[in-house]
Structure 1
Amino acid sequence: MKPGKNSLRKKRVRQIACAIGAVLVATVLAFNLPGQRPKSDGAALTGLASQMRHDPTAWTHDEKDASQMLRDIRDADVAAIGVSPSAILVSRRDGSKYFVTDHNATFSHALLLGEPKADQAAAPYQLVWLPDADIRSGGARWIEVFDQVRDAISVLLPLLLIGGMVWFMRREMRGGASLLSRAPTLRFDDVIGAGEAKAALADIRGYLSDPKQFTAMGVRAPCGILMVGGPGVGKTRLAQALAGECGASFISITGSYFSAKYYGVGIQKVKHLFELARKNAPTVIFIDEADGLAKRTDTGGGPVEAESNRIINQLLAEMDGFASNEGVIIVAATNHPDNLDEALRRPGRFDRTVQVRLPDREDRARIFRFYAEKLKSRAADIDYDQLARLTTGLSPATVAMVVNQAGLVARKAGDTQIAAKHFMEAIKIARIGDVSGAERALSEDERNRIAVHEAGHGLVAALLGTGTLEEVTILPRGGALGVALITKQQDKHLYRETEIRNEIQVLLGGRNAEILSFAEASSGAASDLQEASRISLDMVSKFGFNSDGDLFSLAALPSQYAGLQMKGAIEQANVLLKELNELCYGLLHAYEPVLRAIADELLEQETVPGETVYRLIREHKSTLKIVHEPAAA
C-alpha cells in the first residue's frame, strides 16, 4: 500500500473519531454535567436542528443500530445529529431520518476513548442537544420499566422478607389463641347428665362469680381443673357451661397448641395465652387433649425434647402464680391422665380431678329426646326408655350420631318422618355395623351353621338372664356374619363372679351349639374364644376368682416380672374355661328342641325377635313339666 493512501486513510479516521468524540462529549455532559450542557438557544437553531428541538417525532419511525450511524458519519453523509438522554437522532443529507437507541448512554460511554484532539477538523454536521426529548422504542421502554422494577425489588425484597419473618414470628407466638366473640351462653342445666362433674365444678363457679368470698376467708381456689373421661362424654360442653355460668371469657385450645416450628416460640405462646387471659379476666382457659403436652424428659435426647421441657416448665411457672392469676381458671380435658407430667398434677397446678362419666339410662333417654325433638319424627311412636336401654355404654356424642343416623335411615327408606324402626336400625348400625351383602356369598351349609351358632348365643343368654335378648339375626353386619343382640337393663360398674361366669357361657354358646348339632365346631367361634379367654384370665389373675383360692393379682407386678408368672394363670384360666364349657353344653343339650326351633326360624325369617325366643323357652319348660309329672307319680 502506498504512503499517500495511508495518510489519507488516517486523516479520515481522525475526522470520524472527531465526530464521535463530539457526540460522546455532548452525551456525557448531558447526563453527568447538567450545568455545563451545550448552550443552544432555540432561536439560534435553523432547519433540521430546529425541527429536532421542537418536534423529534419524525425521527422515531425508523430505528437503526450504531454501526449504521458510524458508516454514515464516516461517509460524511450526516447533516445533523441530535443527542437526547435515551437516543441519538440522525439526519442524512438525502433527507432520510432515523434514531439510534442509546440506553443509559452505554454506546456513548463505550466510544468515549475516541475523543478527538484539539487540532482535528470539526465535524461537517450540526450537533444539537435535546434535553427534553423522549425517543425510545417499545423495547427500550420495557427495558427501562424492567430495570426500575428490578431496582425497586432489590431494595424492597429484603425489607419484605424481614417484615414477613417478623409478622410470621409474631403470629406463631400468638398461636391462634383468641377469646370467643361472646361469652358462652351454655349453662349447667343445658348439659344433660354429668351430675358428679357439675357438683365438682360448683366451687369453681363460685370463685369466678365472686372471688372475694374465697379471699376474705383466706381460701385459695383451685388453679386448674383436670377433666378425665372417655371420648364424647361432654368435657368440652362442661367447660363452656362453667364459663357461661359465671359470665367468664372463654379460650379454647388443644395440647398441641404449644408446639411450634421455631425454637422458643412455644414459650412465647404460653406467655401470650396467660397475658390474654389475665387481661380479660374472669377467663376460663380450656385445653382439650391435654395429654398432647406429653411429659418432661431428662434423657437429653435432642432439641425437640429440650423445647418440650421448656414449654412445660413455662406452663408450670405461669400456673404457679409468678404473676397474678386471679380470675383465671385452667380446665384441661384428657382421655389419658397418666400421660401428663407429674408436676402438672400436684397441688397448685391441676389440683382437682373431675371424673366425667358416661350417662346412665335416664340421662340417655333425655339425650335421645333432646336430639329427636330437632328432627321431624313421630314422637308418639318412639319409646325413649327402650332406646336408652338399647344403648348402654354409649356416650352422648354417640347418641347424637345415632339420632342423626336414624334420619339417614328414614331418608334411605323413602319415609318423610323418623319412626321407632329407624331408631332401632340406627342403634344396630352404631353397635354392630351396617348390613352388608356378604350373605350372597354364603353357601347353604354356612347359613345353617351361622343360624345354629347365633341361636346358641341367644338361647344361653335368655336362659341365664345375662341381659335382655332383643333379637337374633343371621344378616351380616359389619364384620360379623350374624348377631345375637343382648342389652342390659341398667348400667353396671360391678360384676359378681356368677355374672362373669354367665357371660363366658354366653360366649361359648355358639361353639357348643355347633358341636351339639354338627358334632364339630367351626372357625366362626374364634372371636368368642378370644374374648372368653381374656375374661377368664382376668378372673384368675386380677379378680381372685380361681379354684385354688390364690388371691395374688398379677396386675401388682411390673410388666417385666408379670410375664414370668403368666403360665400358671393361663393354666388356671384354661381349667375355668373347660368347666364353664361343660356347663354350657349341658344347658344347650337340655334345650336342644328350642335351639333347633330358633335355628329354623332364622333360616326362614333371617331375624328372630327376642320375644319369640322367650316364648319357645316357656313352651319347652311347660312340656318338660307335663312329661315329668306322670313319671313322678
Structure 2
Amino acid sequence: MNDNQPNGNPWIKSLLVWVGIFLALLMVVSIFSQRTQSGPSIAYSEFRNRVSAGTVAQVQIGTDRIDGKFTNGDSFSTVPIAADTTLPQLLQDKGVKYEGKAQEEGGIMAYILVQTLPFLLILGIAFFALRQVQKGGGSGAMGFGKSKAKLLTERSGRVTFDDVAGIDEAREELQEIVEFLRDPNRFSKLGGQIPKGALLVGSPGTGKTLLARAIAGEAGVPFFTISGSDFVEMFVGVGASRVRDMFEQAKKNAPCIVFIDEIDAVGRHRGHGLGNSNDEREQTLNQLLVEMDGFEANEGIIIIAATNRPDVLDPALLRPGRFDRQVVVPVPDIEGREKILSVHMKKVPLAPDVNPRVIARGTPGFSGADLANLVNEAALLAARRNKRLVAMQEFEDAKDKVMMGAERRSMVMTDDEKKMTAYHEAGHAIVSLNEAASDPIHKATIIPRGRALGMVMRLPERDSYSYHRDKMLANLSVAMGGRVAEEIIFGYDKVSSGASSDIQYATGLARNMVTKWGMSDKLGPLQYEEQQEGYLGMGGSHRTMASDETNKVIDSEIRALVDNAHKRATQILTDQGEALHTLAQAMLEYETLSGDEIKQLLDTGTIDRPNEPRGNATPRPASGSSIPRAGKRFSGGPAPA
C-alpha cells in the first residue's frame, strides 16, 4: 500500500464505482438487445391475416407475446388476445409450425429495472459525490480540502549545499537541521530538541527556496512544498482542511520537511483583514498554529517558511515552538557574488578572459537571481554573435543591459536632443568627479536605454552597508548636475524635462535624511515618518507622524537640502566649464565612454582607443560628425550648435 495516499487507495474505490456503472449500462444494453431480437411488432389482426394467407412459417406462443417468422425468413412479434381460442386450429389448418413458450424468469424484475435504472444511476452518482465532499471537509470529488503540497524527490532534481553559494551564515544556521534529520538520536540523548520551524527572511531572489531544497537534498528526506496562497479559498474551512491534510501526509513520510513559500499570504496579523477579520484566512492560520504546536506532537516534521515581509506576520506564528529560528538570507557581498557567479558559470563555456571577481565587483546589490540572469544574458548575447565561448565582453554588455536597460538604437533623436542629452550627462559626470564622497564613474552614455535618453552609471569601490552624510550630500549634488548643466548651456527657458527622475531621486533622498535619519539640525534626531507595508527594504507607503507646523519645517528642510545641492552643482560646473564642454563634445562623438576614458579625456584632452577600427558600430558617431582617430584632441570650447 502506498503510504502517500491519505485514505489507503482511494483510486481503487473510484475504479470500482466506474466498473459498476459500466456493468449496469451493459446490462441495460443487453436487455434492450434481447427485446429487439424478436423482430418488429405487428397487429394481431394482421398476424391472423398473414396466417390465413399462408405467409407465416412458424410461431412461439407465450402468455404475453407471440414471436414468429414469415416464410421469407423475416421475424415478427405480436401481442396475443386471450379470448381468441381458434388460433391453434387456424395454425394447424394452414400448416404453421407452432409451439408454446414459457414465461421468462425475472421478466417483471427486468422491466422494473429498465424503468428505474436511470434514476438509480443519477441517485448513486449524487450520493457518491456528496460522500466524497464530506470527507475531510471536501477532499474528494473536487479536492477542495485536499492539500496541494507537492512531494519533491531526487528525480525532480536534487539540490545540495554545493549548489548554494554566497549565504554561508544562513547555511550554517540550517546545518543543524540537516544533522538532526540524519541522526535524531544524537540530539535526543542529551535532552535537546531540534527547532520545529525555521523562517527564512530575505529580499526577493536571495535564494530562500533554493536553500530549503538544499536542506532536503542534504538530509535525503521527503520534501513537501506549497505556497501560502494555496491554502486560501473562497469557501470558509477549506484552507484549514488543507492544512490538516498536509500534516497527515507529512506524518506518514516523517522525518520530512514541509516548505511553505510566501507564508505572509496566510500568516498575517489576525484581525487586520478587510473589515475586522477574514474568516477563511484566520481559520487557516489558526489550524496552522495548532498543527505546528498543539496537543498532538508532530515528531520529525520540520516546517520551513519563506517571506520577504516578516513585519506583517502574526506574533503567535513567530513564537518559540513554532518558528523557533528566523534566518536572514541577505543580498550577497562581493565574496558571495563571486561564488554565486562561479556556480552559474559552470553551465556556460567560458573564454579565458572571464574573471568572476571583476564581474562581482561591478555588480553591487545584485541578488542570486540577478546574477543567474546576468550569466544567462551573457550566454544569449554570445549565441546571437555566433561565438562558441562566452567572453568578458558579453558579460560587460549583459551587465549594462541588466543595470541600465537594453539599447534603443532604433530611436531617432535630433541633433539638438543629442546635444542636450550630452551636456546633461556631462553635467552629472563633472559634478561626480569633483565630489570627493561620490562613487567612481563606471560608464556614461547618451544612447537611449530603457526609459532614459542617457545615463551616468556610478559603482562603489566596495560594498556599502551604511551611508554617511557627506556621501548623501554628494549624491544630491550629482543628481542636480544634469539640470544645472542645461541651465548654464541652454538658458533658463530651454531647460528640458529630462531631469524628472533626478528630481524624484533627490527629493526622496532629502526626505529620508530629514524624516528618518535625523540629519536636520532644526528637527533633530527624531523620526517623523514610518514605512508601512511593503517589501523588505523596498517600496511601501509612508505615513507622516507630525503636526502641521512640523510638516512645514520638514518641507522647508527638504527644500534647503535640494537647493544647497543645486548651488553646489552650479558652482562646480561654472568653475569646470571647459571640462563640461570637452566631455560633452566627446560624448557626442563616441556616445559611450567608460570611467577611465573620461578621466583620461579630462587629464590629457584625448581618448586613446587604438583597437577601434574606423566605422566601429559601438560607439557610433552622432549624425554629421566623423569618428575621431585614436588620440584625437578635443577642444575645451563650446560645441558647435
Q: Write out aligned runs for 1:464-475 (5 A).
A: 464-465=435-436, 466-475=438-447
Q: Does 1:406 align with 2:378?
A: yes
Aligned residues: 533
**Distance in 2 between residues matched to 1:370 and 1:152, nearest whole Å:** 66
Question: Which of 52, 59, 81 pairs up with 1:82?
Answer: 59
Q: 1:531 to 1:122 in 2, by over 3 A?
A: same
Which has the larger displacement, 262-271 or 154-163? 154-163
Residue 357 of structure 2 is matched in structure 1 by 385
Residue 448 of structure 1 is matched in structure 2 by 419
Q: Write out aligned runs for 1:525-564 (5 A).
A: 525-548=499-522, 550-555=524-529, 559=543, 561-562=545-546, 564=548
- Tell me the CA shift for residue 203 of structure 1: 3.9
Query: What code does the residue aligned with 1:414 have?
Result: N
**Distance in 2 between residues matched to 1:546 and 1:295, nearest whole Å:** 36
- Tell me the CA shift for residue 308 of structure 1: 2.2
Per the alignment, in what secondary structure is the counterpart of residue 464 of structure 1?
A: coil
Do the aligned residues in 2 keep the contact of 1:296 with 1:312 (CA within 8 Å)? no
Residue 251 of structure 1 is matched in structure 2 by 224
Q: 1:476 to 1:267 in 2, by over 3 A?
A: same
Do the aligned residues in 2 keep the contact of 1:367 with 1:399 (CA within 8 Å)? yes
**Distance in 1 between residues matched to 2:251 and 2:147, nearest whole Å:** 17
Q: Write out aligned runs for 1:209-608 (5 A).
A: 209-260=182-233, 263-295=236-268, 297-298=270-271, 305-378=278-351, 380-437=352-409, 439-440=411-412, 442-465=413-436, 466-520=438-492, 521-548=495-522, 550-555=524-529, 559=543, 561-562=545-546, 564=548, 565-608=550-593
Do the aligned residues in 2 keep the contact of 1:226 with 1:333 (CA within 8 Å)? yes
Q: 1:159 to 1:562 in 2, by over 3 A?
A: farther
Residue 32 of structure 1 is matched in structure 2 by none
**Distance in 2 between residues matched to 1:412 and 1:299, nearest whole Å:** 51
Which has the larger displacement, 322-331 or 590-599? 322-331
**Distance in 1 between residues matched to 2:74 and 2:252, nearest whole Å:** 74
Which has the larger displacement, 183-192 or 269-278? 183-192
Per the alignment, in what secondary structure is the counterpart of residue 323 of structure 1?
A: coil
Residue 116 of structure 1 is matched in structure 2 by 83
Task: Give me the TM-score of the superposition, normalised by structure 2.
Answer: 0.74
Q: 1:300 to 1:537 in 2, by over 3 A?
A: closer
Residue 610 of structure 1 is matched in structure 2 by 595
- Tell me the CA shift for residue 439 of structure 1: 2.8
Query: What code does the residue aligned with 1:66 have?
Result: I
Q: 1:394 to 1:74 in 2, by over 3 A?
A: same
**Distance in 1 between residues matched to 2:277 and 2:147, nearest whole Å:** 18
Q: 1:82 to 1:226 in 2, by over 3 A?
A: same
**Distance in 1 between residues matched to 2:448 and 2:513, nearest whole Å:** 32
**Distance in 2 between residues matched to 1:99 and 1:121, nearest whole Å:** 19
Do the aligned residues in 2 keep the contact of 1:256 with 1:292 (CA within 8 Å)? yes
Q: 1:304 to 1:87 in 2, by over 3 A?
A: farther
- Tell me the CA shift for residue 75 of structure 1: 9.1
1:306-331 per-residue CA deviation (whole Å, 9 max, x = no partner) reads: 23222211111111142222322211
Q: 1:569 to 1:73 in 2, by over 3 A?
A: same
Per the alignment, in what secondary structure is the counterpart of residue 396 of structure 2?
A: helix
**Distance in 2 between residues matched to 1:364 and 1:548, nearest whole Å:** 42
Per the alignment, in what secondary structure is the counterpart of residue 240 of structure 1?
A: helix
Q: 1:534 to 1:261 in 2, by over 3 A?
A: closer
Per the alignment, in what secondary structure is the counterpart of residue 537 of structure 1?
A: helix
Residue 42 of structure 2 is matched in structure 1 by 66
- Tell me the CA shift for residue 214 of structure 1: 4.0
Choose between structure 1 and 2: higher helix proportion.
Answer: 1
Do the aligned residues in 1 keep the contact of 2:151 with 2:223 (CA within 8 Å)? yes
- Tell me the CA shift for residue 377 of structure 1: 1.8
Do the aligned residues in 1 keep the contact of 2:153 with 2:223 (CA within 8 Å)? no
1:34-92 per-residue CA deviation (whole Å, 9 max, x = no partner) reads: xxxxxxxxxxxxxxxxxxxxxxx9x98xx7x736x63574698443462578874465x
**Distance in 1 between residues matched to 2:333 and 2:425, nearest whole Å:** 29
Query: What code does the residue aligned with 2:564 have?
Result: E
**Distance in 1 between residues matched to 2:311 and 2:391, nearest whole Å:** 44
**Distance in 2 between residues matched to 1:418 and 1:385, nearest whole Å:** 16
Q: Which runs of 5+ in 1 are unaligned?
A: 1-56, 103-107, 133-146, 621-633
Query: What code does the residue aligned with 1:505 have?
Result: S
**Distance in 1 between residues matched to 2:440 and 2:144, nearest whole Å:** 56
**Distance in 1 between residues matched to 2:520 and 2:410, nearest whole Å:** 41
Query: What code does the residue aligned with 2:239 have?
Result: G
Q: Write out aligned runs for 1:48-197 (5 A).
A: 66=42, 70-71=45-46, 73=48, 77-79=52-54, 80=56, 82-83=59-60, 88-89=67-68, 91=70, 99-100=75-76, 108=79, 115-116=82-83, 124-126=90-92, 128-129=98-99, 155-156=120-121, 158-160=123-125, 162-163=127-128, 166=132, 169-170=139-140, 171-182=143-154, 186-197=159-170
Query: What code does the residue aligned with 1:458 have?
Result: A
Query: What code does the residue aligned with 2:527 have?
Result: S
1:385-408 per-residue CA deviation (whole Å, 9 max, x = no partner) reads: 221122111111110111011011
**Distance in 2 between residues matched to 1:188 and 1:594, nearest whole Å:** 52
Do the aligned residues in 2 keep the contact of 1:228 with 1:334 (CA within 8 Å)? yes
Do the aligned residues in 2 keep the contact of 1:452 with 1:510 (CA within 8 Å)? yes
Do the aligned residues in 1 keep the contact of 2:425 with 2:482 (CA within 8 Å)? yes
Cα-Cα RMSD: 3.6
- Tell me the CA shift for residue 523 of structure 1: 0.4
Do the aligned residues in 2 keep the contact of 1:188 with 1:242 (CA within 8 Å)? yes
1:172-218 per-residue CA deviation (whole Å, 9 max, x = no partner) reads: 54424354334985443542111221233244344434444544444
- Tell me the CA shift for residue 469 of structure 1: 1.2
Which has the larger displacement, 484-493 or 218-227? 218-227
Per the alignment, in what secondary structure is the counterpart of residue 223 of structure 2?
A: strand
Do the aligned residues in 2 keep the contact of 1:452 with 1:599 (CA within 8 Å)? yes
**Distance in 2 between residues matched to 1:382 and 1:354, nearest whole Å:** 34
Per the alignment, in what secondary structure is the counterpart of residue 139 of structure 2?
A: helix
Do the aligned residues in 2 keep the contact of 1:594 with 1:616 (CA within 8 Å)? no
Do the aligned residues in 1 keep the contact of 2:345 with 2:375 (CA within 8 Å)? yes
Residue 18 of structure 1 is matched in structure 2 by none
Do the aligned residues in 2 keep the contact of 1:439 with 1:475 (CA within 8 Å)? no
Per the alignment, in what secondary structure is the counterpart of residue 278 of structure 2?
A: helix
**Distance in 2 between residues matched to 1:84 and 1:260, nearest whole Å:** 67
**Distance in 2 between residues matched to 1:277 and 1:455, nearest whole Å:** 62
Do the aligned residues in 2 keep the contact of 1:472 with 1:610 (CA within 8 Å)? yes
Do the aligned residues in 2 keep the contact of 1:598 with 1:608 (CA within 8 Å)? no
Query: What code does the residue aligned with 1:70 have?
Result: S
**Distance in 1 between residues matched to 2:293 and 2:483, nearest whole Å:** 60
Identity %: 32
- Tell me the CA shift for residue 278 of structure 1: 3.1
Residue 8 of structure 2 is matched in structure 1 by none
Give the number of the structure whose alpha-carbon radius of gyration is greater. Answer: 1
Do the aligned residues in 2 keep the contact of 1:78 with 1:125 (CA within 8 Å)? no
1:498-547 per-residue CA deviation (whole Å, 9 max, x = no partner) reads: 00111111111111111111113210111110111011011111111124
